[in-house]
Structure 1
Amino acid sequence: MTGLIVRVGAGVILAAAVLGGSVVALERSVVYHPIAYPRGSWHPEEFGLSVTDHYFETDDGLTLHAWHAEADRLGADLRGESGPRRTLLWFHGNAGNITHRADNMRLLVAEGIDVFIFDYRGFGRSEGRPSEKGLYTDARAAYAYLTETLAVPRDEIVFFGRSLGAAVAVELALDQAPAGLILESPFTSAPAMARVMFGGLPLGFLISSRFDTLERIGRVNTPVLIAHGDRDEIVPYAMGRRIYDAANDPKSFYRITGAGHNDTYVIGGTPYFRELRAFWEGL
C-alpha cells in the first residue's frame, strides 16, 4: 500500500509539473530546503561555540555569510595533544542553515581543528536563490576567501561535505585540491536520489541538477574518507559504498553503525570524532 501511495503521489506531482510548467519549482522543492535569517539559532555561544562572522562576495555579485571558529591550540599544546594545523572547510547539506550545525561544529573544534562553514546562496544570511551552478560558484568564493583574505595555507585545508555538500566539495576538489576530502552521507547523483524519493519511478529527467558525485569522484586525486550511517533513511548506505568504490586511493570508508542521515555524530559518538581526527592528522 505504501508503494502505491508513493507512486500515485509521484504521478500527481508529475502531472502538476507538466501541466503547470512548474518543473523548476518542483526541483527547488525537492532539492533545496533553505532556512533564511532570522530563523535559526544565531547565538552560537548558547552551544558553547565562539565564532567570528564573515561576509564575502561571489563572482556573480552575491554576498554570502560564514562562521569561522578556531581551535584552542594553546590548551592542546599544554596537554601535549597538538597535531598539524588543519582547517575544515564545511559544505553543509540541502536544508536549514549554518546555525543548525553549531553543536556538531563545537565538537569538531574541540578535536583541535579550525572550522569555516558558510551558507550557500538563499540560506541563512546569504543572498540569492540556490541552484547547482550557484552552489559551485559559492564554493569557489568561500575557498578564495579562506585562502586569500584569511590567508589559510592551501595544504592545511580539509574539505568536509555532508549529503548535498559532498557533491559541492567534490566539484571544488577537481579544481582546488585540498589536503584531504571527507564525504559524509553522500549520494551518487541528484537523478538517482529522485528515483529513491519517488519510489523507484524514473523521474530524474525532471531534475536539471546533476550533482554527480559518482561520475566525478574518480577524477579527484586527494586522500578521501567516506563516512555513512548504515541506517540512513534518506540517502541509501549503498550510495556511499558505490562512491567509495569509485574513488582513487588513498581512501578509507567509515561505517557509522546505527546512524541515520542527520545523527551521524551523535550516534557515532567518540569513535566518530576519533575516526575523523585520525584522518586529518594523518594527512
Structure 2
Amino acid sequence: MAAGRWVSVTWKVLAVAVVLWLLVVLAAWLLQRQLIYLPDRSAPAPPAGVEEIAYTGADDTELTAWLLPPAEASSPGSPHSTVVVANGNGGNRAGRVPLAEGLAERGHAVLLTDYRGYGGNPGDPREEVLAEDFLAAVARVADHPDVDPDRIVYLGESLGSAVVSEAAAELPPAALVLRSPFTELADVGRHHYPFLPVRALLRDRFPTTEHLGRYEGPVLVVAGDSDRIVPDRFSRQVVEEHTAGPISLHVVEGADHNDRAVLSGDDFLDAVDGFLRDALPGGG
C-alpha cells in the first residue's frame, strides 16, 4: 500500500513538472522577441558634428542614422573607408558613439544605424526586415558626396554580425567586420537555456555562417575570450567554418561581451583599422 502511494505521488510530481515545463516553453514561444531584442526606444539627440541621415527601409518604414566624418587631422582627404554599423540587440546608436569616434580618429567615416523600434525609429524588429533595412542605409550613404561607394565596410556587433552577414551576401561590401559573432542564434539560445527546445521554438534564426558562406571578401572576426553572452567558441567556430574567402580572428584578452574593450577599446579599434588598411589599400 505504501509503495502504491509512493508511485502515485511520484507520477503526480512528474505530471506537475511536465505541466510547468510546458508553460515555460509556451512563455518562451510567446515572449521570445522580448528576450532577443532589448531596445532603448528613446530618440537620442545627435552629438555635435554628426549628420543625421534619414532613409526608407523595408515596407516604407522611415528610419534614422548618424554619419560621423573622419577626424580632419587623421584624414585630410576623403575617409579611408565608410563603416556602416549594425548594433547588438540592446540600447541604441547613442551608445555606439565612442566606437564611431574611435574609428573617425583613425581616418574612417562611420554611419551608426538603428533597427526599427530602436532610437526613436518606428516599428518592431524582426529578422526578415533587418538586413533589408540595413541595406537601405547603405544605399543612402553610398549617395553621399563624401563617401566612396567602393570603400564601404559593414561592421556588425553580436546580433548585428548576423544582420551584416546577410546583407553582405546580398550586396558585398569592400570588407566585413564581425564583433562577437555566433554561428546561429539557436546555438546561443541552447547555451543559455539548455532545458528548452530552442531550435524548434525560434522564429528569428539569424544563421550567420550560412549567410557568410555567400560572401567572398575579407572578413575580420573580433571576440573577447571572457564573453559570457556569446562565448568565444562560437566566434571561433564562425572562423573555422568559413571557406568562401579570407578570414582572420582577433581575440581581446579578458573581455566580456559588453566590456569597453570590445565596444570602443584601443586594441579593438586598432585591429579594425589595421585590417581595413590591409584590405583597402590607398584611400584618403
TM-score, normalisation: structure 1: 0.84
SS in 1 for 2:210: helix
Q: 1:61 to 1:220 in 2, by over 3 A?
A: same
Report the counterpart of residue 270 of structure 1 in structure 2. Answer: 266
Paired residues of 1:17 and 1:26 also in contact (CA < 8 A): no
Give runs of aligned pairs for residues 165-204 of structure 1, distance below 5 A: 165-199=160-194, 201-204=196-199
Paired residues of 2:252 and 2:262 also in contact (CA < 8 A): no
Residue 51 of structure 1, CA deviation = 0.8
Paired residues of 1:162 and 1:186 also in contact (CA < 8 A): yes
Paired residues of 1:90 and 1:161 also in contact (CA < 8 A): yes
Q: Which has the larger radius of gyration?
A: 2
Residue 16 of structure 1, CA deviation = 4.6
Q: 1:69 to 1:84 in 2, by over 3 A?
A: closer
C-alpha RMSD over aligned residues: 2.6
Residue number among 24, 44, 61 corresponding to 2:47 in the alignment:
44
Report the counterpart of residue 102 of structure 1 in structure 2. Answer: 97
Paired residues of 2:81 and 2:148 also in contact (CA < 8 A): no
Matched, 1:212 2:232: no
Once the two structures are superposed, what CA deviation does each residue of 1:4-62 show, in whole Å capped at 9, x if it has no partner? xxxxx9x85751553x7x72x41211211111114xx53534xxxx3111111113111
Gaps of 5+ in 2: 1-16, 280-284
Query: Identity across aligned pairs (percent)?
Result: 32
Residue number among 247, 254, 261 corresponding to 1:258 in the alignment:
254
Matched, 1:56 2:55: yes
Once the two structures are superposed, what CA deviation does each residue of 1:209-228 show, in whole Å capped at 9, x if it has no partner? 11001222222101000000
Paired residues of 1:121 and 1:134 also in contact (CA < 8 A): no
TM-score, normalisation: structure 2: 0.84
Report the counterpart of residue 74 of structure 2 in structure 1. Answer: 76
Residue 148 of structure 1, CA deviation = 3.1
SS in 1 for 2:273: helix
Further displaced range: 89-98 or 272-281: 272-281
Q: Give the partner amino acid of 1:64.
A: L
Residue 264 of structure 1, CA deviation = 5.1
SS in 1 for 2:164: helix
Further displaced range: 25-34 or 262-271: 262-271
Inter-partner Cα distance in structure 2 for 1:77 and 1:119: 26
Report the counterpart of residue 231 of structure 2 in structure 1. Answer: 236
Once the two structures are superposed, what CA deviation does each residue of 1:92-127 show, in whole Å capped at 9, x if it has no partner? 111111011122221121111100011111101211
Paired residues of 1:89 and 1:115 also in contact (CA < 8 A): yes
Report the counterpart of residue 281 of structure 1 in structure 2. Answer: 277
Q: Give the partner amino acid of 1:159.
A: Y
Paired residues of 2:67 and 2:111 also in contact (CA < 8 A): yes
Residue 194 of structure 1, CA deviation = 1.4
Once the two structures are superposed, what CA deviation does each residue of 1:216-258 show, in whole Å capped at 9, x if it has no partner? 2222101000000000010010000010112233211001111
Report the counterpart of residue 5 of structure 2 in structure 1. Answer: none
Paired residues of 2:79 and 2:147 also in contact (CA < 8 A): no
Report the counterpart of residue 140 of structure 2 in structure 1. Answer: 145
Inter-partner Cα distance in structure 2 for 1:163 and 1:151: 29
SS in 1 for 2:106: coil
Inter-partner Cα distance in structure 1 for 2:269 and 2:140: 27
Report the counterpart of residue 130 of structure 1 in structure 2. Answer: 125
SS in 2 for 1:194: helix
Once the two structures are superposed, what CA deviation does each residue of 1:47-98 show, in whole Å capped at 9, x if it has no partner? xxx311111111311111100000123x2357xxx79720000011111110
Inter-partner Cα distance in structure 1 for 2:41 and 2:210: 32
Report the counterpart of residue 26 of structure 1 in structure 2. Answer: 31
Gaps of 5+ in 1: 1-8
Matched, 1:245 2:240: yes
Inter-partner Cα distance in structure 2 for 1:58 and 1:194: 28
SS in 2 for 1:225: strand
Q: 1:189 to 1:76 in 2, by over 3 A?
A: same
Inter-partner Cα distance in structure 1 for 2:206 and 2:154: 16
